[in-house]
């Protein structure tokens, strides 16, 4: 067991609760399940934890067709068949046809690795159940070679989910869980400052104000998230806008400048236009 602790990095602001969850998972060597609104930095967390602990990161992105055993190993029967028909010598050793998966890779890493299982909810409902033993004992058995693969150093497994499917209880029981909440104004200010240290204070205040205003508009189909805010600010910066221009924009024109970065579908744009229009009329009267 190592005493390394995760404290956030120079470009990732981790809240107190998030640090606690990561450190608990690190210390007790349990998988950590992360949920939260899209764009709140779930996947980013694994990258940053790996960077801050200086550990190798192994990413396993899950698709709807991904099967659990693909993470362990695959037996390449087709090339063995071909080799056998060509009379290749390799054919006698079955281990030549065992292709290692991401979990095997993480188990055999020389240093403790960070294994990211991204968007586990995309896979079939049974997928998490098929990994129970592997995550719990950090070992699995290769039937073809009769070999037991055991983790040299138990990796820190970070699992992200977008809540598209419910995960089975037996799986949840083995994990630590953290829900990344949407950051508050203060945390958001920190996050933006970490990404754009040269940003002028007044522009930041103006932009954040507008951003939270957009987020609070009722009935938006897709609320803008942190990553969208960062994109938007990048756009504002590249246009070299000042806070005054942004403020002026928001009173003369109804939509905030470069709203395309924040609002991602046309119903939302219409809705926001309508709300802003009503708002303005109220102010003027």
User: Would you tell me which residues interact with other proteins (CB under 8 A)?
Assistant: 16-17, 20-21, 23-24, 27-28, 30, 33, 35, 77, 81, 84-85, 125, 163-166, 169, 172-173, 175-179, 181
Structure tokens at 29: 């060597």
- CB of residue 196 to other proteins, shortest distance in Å: 27
Nearer to other proteins among residue 96 and residue 249 (C-beta): 96
CB atoms within 10 A of CB 38: 13
How many residues are there in the chain?
A: 285
Give residue 177's Cα distance to chain centre.
14
Long-range contacts of 192-195 (CB under 8 A, 24+ apart): 192/229, 192/230, 192/233, 194/10, 194/11, 194/12, 194/13, 195/11, 195/230, 195/233
- CB of residue 168 to other proteins, shortest distance in Å: 11
Strands (E) in the chain, as ranges, are 32-36, 57-61, 73-75, 98-100, 114-118, 139-142, 147-150, 156-161, 176-180
- CB of residue 231 to other proteins, shortest distance in Å: 23
- CB of residue 58 to other proteins, shortest distance in Å: 23
φ, ψ of residue 263 in degrees (nearest 5): -105, 125
Nearer to other proteins among residue 109 and residue 161 (C-beta): 161
Nearer to other proteins among residue 78 and residue 148 (C-beta): 78
- CB of residue 125 to other proteins, shortest distance in Å: 8
Nearer to other proteins among residue 172 and residue 185 (C-beta): 172
Q: How far is CA 269 from CA 24, 76, 180, 249, 276, in A?
A: 42, 51, 27, 16, 10
Nearer to other proteins among residue 30 and residue 264 (C-beta): 30
- CB of residue 178 to other proteins, shortest distance in Å: 5
Nearer to other proteins among residue 177 and residue 212 (C-beta): 177
CA-only gyration radius of the chain, Å? 24
Strand partners, 70: none
- CB of residue 181 to other proteins, shortest distance in Å: 7
Nearer to other proteins among residue 77 and residue 99 (C-beta): 77
How many Å apart are CA 226 and CA 135, to the nearest integer?
Answer: 31
């Amino acid at each position: 067991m190592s005493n390394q602790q995760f404290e956030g990095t120079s470009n990732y602001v981790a809240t107190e609760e998030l640090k606690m969850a990561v450190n608990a998972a690190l210390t007790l060597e349990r998988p950590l399940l992360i949920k939260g609104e899209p764009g709140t930095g779930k996947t980013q967390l694994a990258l940053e934890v790996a960077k801050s602990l200086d550990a190798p990161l192994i990413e396993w992105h899950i698709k709807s067709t991904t099967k659990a055993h693909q993470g362990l190993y695959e037996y390449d029967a087709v090339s063995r068949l071909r080799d056998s028909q060509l009379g290749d010598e390799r054919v006698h050793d079955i281990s030549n046809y065992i292709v290692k998966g991401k979990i095997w890779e993480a188990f055999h890493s020389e240093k403790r690795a960070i294994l990211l299982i991204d968007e586990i909810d995309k896979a079939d409902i049974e997928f998490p159940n098929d990994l129970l033993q592997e995550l719990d004992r950090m070992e699995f058995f290769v039937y073809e070679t009769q070999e037991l693969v055991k983790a040299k150093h138990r990796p820190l497994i970070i699992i992200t989910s977008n809540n598209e499917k419910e995960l089975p209880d037996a799986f949840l029981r083995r994990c630590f869980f953290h829900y990344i909440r949407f950051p508050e104004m203060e945390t958001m200010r920190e996050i933006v400052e970490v990404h754009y240290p040269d940003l002028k204070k007044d522009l930041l205040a103006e932009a954040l104000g507008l951003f939270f205003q957009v987020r609070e508009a009722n009935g938006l189909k897709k609320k803008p998230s942190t990553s969208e805010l960062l994109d938007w600010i990048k756009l504002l910066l590249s246009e070299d806008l000042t806070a005054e221009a942004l403020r002026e924009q928001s009173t003369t024109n109804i939509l905030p400048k470069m709203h395309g970065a924040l609002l991602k579908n046309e119903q939302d744009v219409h809705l926001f236009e309508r709300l802003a229009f009503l708002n303005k009329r109220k102010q003027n009267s």
